[in-house]
Amino acid sequence: GHAFDGNTNTPLDSVKVVWMVAGVKDSVTATADDGYLIKDLPQGDYSIWCSKANYTTVVTNIAIQNTDISTTTVRGGENKEQVITYNPNLYPLNAGLHGRLYKNENGINIPIAGATVQIDYNGVYRDDEESYRFVPNLYQATTDADGFYTFTNIPATRGEIRFLDYTDANGEVYSYSSGNNIYLQSGQNIAYQNIYMSRVTDQIRLTATNLWTAPNESNEDFAVADDITLTFNKNVNETNTTNLGYVYLENSAGALIASTITYTDNVITINPDEDLSENTWYRVRYDVYSDQEYDNTSSTITFRTVNNTVIPAQVTNFAINYNNMGTGWVADYNTNFIWFQIDVLSTADYYEIFAKDSYSNSEYVKIGTANQPDYLQGTLSFGASLPGQFDYFTDDGVQTPFSYGTTVSYKVRAVNSVGAGPFSNVVTVKDETAFNSGDMNILGQDVSADNSGGTSDITVTFDFIISNGQYADVSHTPIVKLFNGATEITPLTTTFTWDTHQHATITLTVPAGSDYSSYQLRVYDVNDSSGNTMDPADYESQNLF
């Protein structure tokens, strides 16, 4: 389409056309000659914004249906694209309007200072082809000390002028019965007729609410399950309030609280969808209307709910969660993260996890927290990692909190706004995983084990390595055996000497005239640093050469 000056019907140049659908936003620029074209659009509900410097910004919604984007076959087999045409009218921001407001006191007209005058461009009836809205749509001015108001640089088109209710220094309310449609001319500053506001005998106002303990004194002990009632001196017009005003409940951060709002004569009832939280500040905001046009009242009421919170009880059934860790799970030397579980406490906001060990952390240290979702019932699962201070060997670059039989003790407690409850039972964890053949290596054979042509015994030396960063119990000597197939060679002369907790030297004596090459050397019964003994059937082996 093209963008036009709404008054002269002249095509406009340099008009920015922005479209949005399903979170996607893009724009094109319309020119006076070629207009604009947006292609390859999917179906959906579009919001179209058209703007140009010194003109109104207009917004419209366009729904593109399947029928709009489907194609039809024309002669020759080609497809004909379906096109939606939208020609927005923009209006120059070069109109002006001025006037004067009075209040009538016992037949005397007195200029009103500080009254609010509005021009609303979206409330005016428009033709179908002009089913758009202005952004901004509402312009506002305030009368000066002599009752004069002035609008400048506003859209040169039809609008509705309104004179809002005015309250003087004595608390008297004045109202003007209705707004009027106006037509503003491009480049002209129109003088509007004098307006005389009449006193409202009894403006709608809030007379009672259970959010007060006394008039205008906030309730700070409001029951969390109670409905909120607002009572006014007049019947509340639900339609006017819904269309022109609002009633809502929000928390102290401004987030809306889902509620059902009921209008019954002069009473509004707010029923929150869920009970409110204890010891929490909330506020009700309202702008309500009576049956009299422009007779409205607005305010904010702040209140706090009752505080029935007590310190949480002791956490129960604190244990390792084997559903997450795996059935039959036991800790190893380098275990750092463990899943636990507890029974949920309704009075808890969160839980604190503490740990100590039998090596260097003799006092409990808080190692983490676990939050409790409001909806959760039954069992809470959470994971806990040990910090770096839980490490037996700090110089090897690997955290090994359970080496050398170190036992780590865990406990938890519940916490809320009042304080922390007593600690749970203690769960102790230690290394219970023994070595297997994958944790060891025999290597570094120094000479051949073939002594068949020798006239004296020879000694063959091997390195025995503890791999994967683990540590062995050097006070325990493993068993060394030699096999020829399934046959164990006896007697056998060997030595097994630990050099460090990760390295040992094995020597094997090969008698003169014997050939042990191709035999298999086996090492059994290697204990880890926590004292865990290997499975008797497991061993580490190496074939000799």
CB 249 within 8 A of CB 256: yes
CB 474 within 8 A of CB 498: yes
CB 307 within 8 A of CB 278: yes
At 43 the pLDDT is 85
CB 273 within 8 A of CB 224: no
CB 97 within 8 A of CB 190: yes
Instruction: Tally Cβ neighbours within 10 Å of residue 339.
Output: 16
Q: Determine the longest span between alpha carbons in the chain, in angstroms.
A: 142
At 107 the pLDDT is 67
The two tokens of residue 302 are 């702040």
3-state secondary structure of 175: strand
3-state secondary structure of 69: helix
Dist CA 368 CA 351 (whole Å): 9
At 67 the pLDDT is 64
- Strand ranges across the sheet with 206-209: 206-209, 228-232, 267-272, 259-264
**DSSP code for 477:** P
At 394 the pLDDT is 83
At 128 the pLDDT is 42
At 333 the pLDDT is 93
Nearest 5°: phi and psi at 387?
Answer: -70, 175
Could you give the angle at the alpha carbon of 399 between the alpha carbons of 397 and 402, nearest 5°?
140
**What one-letter code names the amino acid at 192?**
Y
CA dihedral 240, 244, 249, 255 (to 10 degrees): 150
Dist CA 200 CA 176 (whole Å): 9
Spell out the per-residue pLDDT of the chain, length 545, in tens: 999 999 999 999 999 999 999 888 999 999 999 999 998 888 889 999 999 999 999 999 988 876 655 555 445 555 556 788 999 999 999 999 999 999 876 567 899 999 999 999 886 544 444 467 899 989 999 999 999 999 999 999 999 999 998 988 767 788 887 668 899 999 999 999 999 998 776 778 999 999 999 999 999 999 999 999 999 998 999 999 999 999 999 999 999 999 999 999 999 999 999 999 988 999 999 999 988 666 789 999 999 999 887 899 999 999 999 999 999 999 999 999 999 999 999 889 999 999 999 999 999 999 999 998 877 789 999 999 999 999 988 887 889 999 999 999 999 999 998 899 999 999 999 999 999 999 999 999 999 999 999 999 999 999 999 988 899 999 999 999 999 999 999 999 999 999 999 999 999 999 999 999 999 999 999 999 999 999 999 999 999 99
Dist CA 250 CA 302 (whole Å): 10
At 241 the pLDDT is 94
Which residues sit opposite 242 in a β-bridge? none
Give me the residue label for tokens 């309250």: 167
Phi-psi region of 254 (alpha: psi -120 to 50; beta: other; left: phi over 0): left
**What one-letter code names the amino acid at 456?**
S
CB 361 within 8 A of CB 374: no
**DSSP code for 170:** T
- Strand locations in 216-295, DSSP E? 217-218, 228-232, 246-251, 259-264, 267-272, 281-289
At 106 the pLDDT is 57
End-to-end CA distance of the chain, in Å?
A: 89
